[in-house]
Structure 1
Amino acid sequence: MRKTVLELNGVTFTYPGAEQPVLRDVSLQLKQGDFTAVIGSNGSGKSTLCKCFNGLIPHYYTGDFSGEVIVSGQSAEGRTVAELSRTMGYVYQDFENQLVRPTVIDDVSFTPLNYGFADYKERGERALELTGLSEVRDEFVWQLSGGQKHLLALAGSLAMDPEVLVIDEPVAQLDPQHAREIYEILRRLNVEHGKTIVVIEHHAEFIADYCQNVILMDNGSIRWQKPVREALSSVSELLELGIYPPDVTRAAWMLNPNPLSVQEQYPMNPEEGRSYFISQHRAVEDNNCSMFKDKLCLVEESAEQKKEAVVQMEGVGLSYRTIHRTLHPVLKDVQLELKRGESIALIGNNGAGKSSLMKLIAGIAKPSGGTVHVKGTLINGLPAERLSGIASYVFQNPEEMFIEDCVRKEIAYYLKARKVPDMDERVENMLQSFRLGELAERDARLLSGGQQRRVSLAIGAAVRPAVMLLDEPTANLDISTKQELVKVLETLRSHVETVVIATHDMQLVAEWASRIIVMHQGQIIADGSKEDIFADEQLLRRAGLAQTQLMELSRVLGLPRICCTLEDFIVSAELQKEEVTHHGSC
């Protein structure tokens, strides 16, 4: 019989100054070898719950705490965070705060060294091998990409060989292939080494493929804890809470919202979807099908308009000098033209050069060679502040843009600095356009992740730049908030000429982008429509990317084209069914 490694009994916690508790009478048990996902919308209490596991609550984050936490059979009361961390490894959502040493090998070895383990170096090397970072062991941490830093934070926790490993958003900032590798590492730790794994996760496809059970958080309470298939088949309940099951599961539910029997559960991946959809004979109601077809018929007529060039890059290279005085190339001979009205997605694996390319356009970085023009202005070497009215760069972490004490002042700051005559009018317009009116007097740093992202976009759009550049705009957002962000991105169309995003979120790319630029090792290796890019599996593998579930399902079902949205898939599946029925009748 498996032992209980973690137990919570009646835990309630309220942050200082808060009127309502963020955790309400929470009780749960985790057994040795469990692989559990904690899900819930932003603000439901997921991260707060997991901070109780290693004593951060109540020992570090003070507040009103009641209840009991038992770790490996011993009460956590009176035990320090340092003591509990021997058993409970933790990778935080703001993982960069866990990186404390200058080089990769020093950082990964730091914790076991700090605890006095004689084999601290060997522990670090083993953790780097597990996370695929051995080749960068001697690099400086600041030289790593965001995804590599996330892997290093995980390696640092693995170096202590903890009994339980908790990861808050394990695939944030990782390209799809590296994200899959992370989960393969976690599966190996779980299956081969008996580690108990807890992930806070918004990506349901990873939950479906790797987790054993799911805890649903709702308004600070545990709504239920179920086996993964039963949990993800609760489509209607999850959607009501703004939580999105895998696309394959939702597609099956849309075609068959009332299963034939209580025992029937929906498919969770494309292979299961192939068997499920082939066996289904029920048709979508005519009115639903018409609704989807109507949506697909909405084509923007503006595509016919002549598009002028907004950004032109010719022979652009970018290198930086390492601490060893050697030149490290980041971008090589980039030729690129971005046009007015385009919605452009920059995709590629970690370290491909996406962020660097955008920083060149914004003037944050200076090219080592070649020329960069924005709206006809040569920006090589121009100070970034002089370009803010032409190109706005929105950082990966929106809180880095906040310097004032309320949202209204944040939006007004750059306008005031530039002495824009209609400043007050613009601020009000941004508050309304980005649905920030009720938050205008709130401190932006205290808002939710989705709200912070809206504020950062409003700040950038307020100066009415020609091009808006967004670095990983959906990082650390739940799926419901991501869907909301897609609508916000559409709002940007009326304020800027061209929008460029660098992202690993293939679903966002599939739903939003009109043009996709694929980068690999500092070069552009493909540039085209999403239909062309996503149909090239070899290209996606080379760039560390992957098709979405719906794209894979389109392929395994033999649909005539790759489907990027649920509506597109439903219509294609129904049209194919009608065609098969027609030929069968003939």
Structure 2
Amino acid sequence: MEILRLDSFSFRYPHTQRCALKDITLSADEGDFVLLCGASGSGKSTLLENLKPELRRNGERTGEITCLGRPLQSLSRMESACDIGFVMQNLEAQLVADTVRGELCFGLESLGFPPEVIRRRVAEMASYFGLGKLLNRSVNTLSGGEKQLVSLASVLSLSPKLLLLDEPASQLDPVAARELFSMLARINSELGITILLAEHHTEELFTLCSKAVLLHNGQVSFCGAPREAARFITQNRTLSSDAIPPQTKESGSAYVFTSLLPSAAKIFPDEPSLPLSVREGRALFKQKISGRTPPAPMPVIPPTAPPAVSVTDVYFGYGSKDTLLFHDLSLTLYEGELSAVMGANGSGKSTLLKLLCGLLKPKRGTIELFGKRGAKPTLGYLPQNPRLLFLADTVQQDLTACAENLRLLHPEERIQSLSEALGISDILSSHPYDISAGELQRAALAKVLLSSPRLLLLDEPTKALDPFAKSKLAALLRGLVQSGVTVLFASHDTEFCASYCDRCALLFDGQTAATGAPAQFFGGNVFYSTAAARIAAGFSYDSVTCGEVRNLWIK
């Protein structure tokens, strides 16, 4: 039974010439698990918002949307609230109550469900999602993964027939993201709920979804089975030493999808039975390297540059003196390097960056920047919520005001140069709140870079970025490092860190659990590792990117 259908649907935001969505025609049957893929700004979030009447923005619409066998606009508010669930990209905007119990009850109480129904459904959701021990916890004390589960449970307590999710894993660590995707697959198979999921982290999703939709510039480039979608992508690319690189923008829409493929498909793009999972890729890899001698381990090269960041025996905690987030934390990072600090949600990555830039003070211990304690070099800091940096009506006005405050000699040239490098020239006239999350992230980075910092601290800079935008960001960061800037960022993105970083560190239990170059860091991990490293595990522990693993069997 068809539960959703769009016929030649188009949407244009007010005061814009370009359609955000153009001639969208697609359908979803009851029980489908649909994955929406595409670059930042391709229309994924706009499409989902147009399927939820309460979230639809003002604009010009043409075409038809049919949901549950009826025109979408004919659904009553009660039907829309109950039958169409929506999990937002911004977790903080989704949570409205003080406690987990209050959050689970909020939707049911607002719609006037009887108390006995509310108690039963809250008990059911708490048991299904394992939230029993969290019911009386404040939502402000939850980790990102816990907040995501609470948001999902509160939406499902209304028993929706259609579940829409907008990049739910963008703020989750790799382990929490895999658990979330497994939970969604379980919900889809056990409850029969139709799911539409927009996501950039597609490594596990190609094997879980039943249909993949590729969006480019607001249009559908492909819609079909996941393996066929992957095959469509591999047939529209050019090979290089790093598996499948993006093509140029002018060559067509497929360029934005090449890096969305699962690692197994990137490593073996020409195989007739295109592998999509680590298991399939590992089996094929073993066939390819059968009889070959494993490569010698890469030597560990000690750093030669002077320290840029030295954290020694630092103690820090929020609130109670008995609760410490960091205890005896020590970490050294070096000048002219691109470094990443990783760890689970709640491990203290954001807190560490705030300590380094002086927004927080340690209870004990020392922090030195470029060999000086208490020194404040030219420093740029990009917080996890980039909206905090914007005050003006357009991105251009905000960047111009910032440049004037910094008294730059040639502000227009500097803004133009950064806009081109970060790919935000087309959104300079837009309001910061009217652009996609990925575009907002890039605009915020441009504002931070206006000051030409010596030390650049970034909190989840790849959040909400599509893989193509990540490659452009990496090129920009590598260019900054080559010019003498030291870059440290907090991240959950193992693939990005493995591909581009000089050094990685892992926070666990208030201390630094591991540090090292990507080959040694990821090669020795099991869960905090890349899919490519898991495919090659047992043969090479130094090969952690798709290009490196591919080269093992091509040579």
Same fold (TM over 0.5): yes
The 1:438/1:65 distance shift into structure 2, 3 A limit, reads: closer
Aligned residue runs from structure 1 range 371-390, under 5 A: 371-379=366-374, 387=376, 389-390=377-378
TM-superposition CA deviations, 1:52-97 (whole Å, max 9, x none): 322246xx41222233333222332233455312011111222321
Instruction: Report the Cα offset of residue 479 of structure 1.
Output: 1.5
Aligned residue runs from structure 1 range 166-177, under 5 A: 166-177=164-175
The 1:132/1:530 distance shift into structure 2, 3 A limit, reads: farther
In the alignment, what sits opposite 1:206? 204
Q: Greater CA deviation, 162-171 or 433-442?
A: 433-442
> What letter matches 2:256 in structure 1?
G
Instruction: Report the Cα offset of residue 332 of structure 1.
Output: 1.5
Q: Greater CA deviation, 497-506 or 221-230?
A: 221-230
Aligned residues of 2:315 and 2:329 also touching (Cα < 8 A): yes
Aligned residues of 2:387 and 2:440 also touching (Cα < 8 A): yes
Aligned residues of 1:454 and 1:488 also touching (Cα < 8 A): no
> What letter matches 1:553 in structure 2?
I
Which of 365, 371, 377 is equivalent to 2:360?
A: 365
Aligned residues of 1:375 and 1:390 also touching (Cα < 8 A): no
Q: Greater CA deviation, 182-191 or 144-153?
A: 144-153
Instruction: Report the Cα offset of residue 478 of structure 1.
Output: 1.3
Corresponding position: 1:111 with 2:90: no
Aligned residues of 2:338 and 2:477 also touching (Cα < 8 A): no
In the alignment, what sits opposite 2:6? 8
Corresponding position: 1:574 with 2:522: no
Aligned residue runs from structure 1 range 22-33, under 5 A: 22-33=20-31
> What letter matches 1:9 in structure 2?
D
- State the alpha-carbon separation in 2 of the partners of residues 230 and 50 from structure 1: 23
TM-superposition CA deviations, 1:431-475 (whole Å, max 9, x none): 425626946953561555444333333333333433211111111
Corresponding position: 1:308 with 2:306: yes
- State the alpha-carbon separation in 2 of the partners of residues 134 and 224 from structure 1: 42
> What letter matches 2:501 in structure 1?
A
Q: Classify the secondary structure of the residue corresponding to 1:20.
A: coil
Q: Classify the secondary structure of the residue corresponding to 1:320.
A: coil
Aligned residue runs from structure 1 range 193-232, under 5 A: 193-232=191-230
In the alignment, what sits opposite 2:420? 435
Instruction: Report the Cα offset of residue 331 of structure 1.
Output: 1.5
In the alignment, what sits opposite 1:527? 515
In the alignment, what sits opposite 1:269? 277
Q: Greater CA deviation, 524-533 or 21-30?
A: 21-30
> What letter matches 1:246 in structure 2?
P
The 1:81/1:201 distance shift into structure 2, 3 A limit, reads: farther
Quick check: which has more Rg, 1 or 2? 1
Instruction: Report the Cα offset of residue 536 of structure 1.
Output: 2.2
Which of 544, 548, 565 is equivalent to 2:530?
A: 548
Corresponding position: 1:395 with 2:383: yes
Aligned residues of 2:462 and 2:493 also touching (Cα < 8 A): yes
Aligned residues of 2:310 and 2:367 also touching (Cα < 8 A): yes
- State the alpha-carbon separation in 2 of the partners of residues 477 and 265 from structure 1: 30
Unaligned runs of 5+ in 1: 282-296, 298-302, 380-385, 576-586
- State the alpha-carbon separation in 1 of the partners of residues 430 and 61 from structure 2: 26
Aligned residues of 1:47 and 1:168 also touching (Cα < 8 A): yes
- State the alpha-carbon separation in 1 of the partners of residues 411 and 50 from structure 2: 44
Q: Classify the secondary structure of the residue corresponding to 2:137.
A: coil
- State the alpha-carbon separation in 2 of the partners of residues 467 and 444 from structure 1: 29
In the alignment, what sits opposite 2:121? 123
- State the alpha-carbon separation in 1 of the partners of residues 3 and 396 from structure 2: 47
Asked which structure has the greater RCO (Cα within 8 Å, sep 6+), the reply is 2
Q: Please give the TM-score of this superposition, normalised by the length of structure 1.
A: 0.81
Q: Classify the secondary structure of the residue corresponding to 2:154.
A: helix
Corresponding position: 1:354 with 2:352: no
The 1:528/1:230 distance shift into structure 2, 3 A limit, reads: same
Which of 459, 484, 501 is equivalent to 2:489?
A: 501
The 1:548/1:560 distance shift into structure 2, 3 A limit, reads: closer
Which of 560, 563, 577 is equivalent to 2:540?
A: 560
The 1:130/1:353 distance shift into structure 2, 3 A limit, reads: farther
Q: Greater CA deviation, 479-488 or 272-281?
A: 272-281
> What letter matches 2:276 in structure 1?
M
Which of 430, 440, 443 is equivalent to 1:455?
A: 443
In the alignment, what sits opposite 1:252? 268
Which of 71, 75, 78 is equivalent to 1:75?
A: 71
In the alignment, what sits opposite 1:237? 236
Q: Greater CA deviation, 434-443 or 35-44?
A: 434-443
The 1:310/1:125 distance shift into structure 2, 3 A limit, reads: farther
- State the alpha-carbon separation in 2 of the partners of residues 487 and 442 from structure 1: 25
Instruction: Report the Cα offset of residue 191 of structure 1.
Output: 1.2
> What letter matches 2:413 in structure 1?
E
> What letter matches 1:435 in structure 2?
E
- State the alpha-carbon separation in 2 of the partners of residues 27 and 521 from structure 1: 49
Instruction: Report the Cα offset of residue 129 of structure 1.
Output: 4.3
Aligned residue runs from structure 1 range 46-61, under 5 A: 46-56=44-54, 60-61=56-57
Q: Give the percent of matched residue pairs that are identical in Structure 1 and Structure 2.
A: 29
The 1:197/1:64 distance shift into structure 2, 3 A limit, reads: same
> What letter matches 1:114 in structure 2?
S
Q: Please give the TM-score of this superposition, normalised by the length of structure 2.
A: 0.86
Which of 151, 156, 159 is equivalent to 1:158?
A: 156
The 1:17/1:426 distance shift into structure 2, 3 A limit, reads: closer
The 1:353/1:221 distance shift into structure 2, 3 A limit, reads: same
| RMSD (Å) for aligned C-alpha atoms | 2.9
Aligned residues of 1:130 and 1:185 also touching (Cα < 8 A): no
> What letter matches 1:228 in structure 2?
P
Corresponding position: 1:141 with 2:139: yes
The 1:417/1:18 distance shift into structure 2, 3 A limit, reads: closer
Aligned residues of 1:333 and 1:523 also touching (Cα < 8 A): yes
Instruction: Report the Cα offset of residue 224 of structure 1.
Output: 3.1
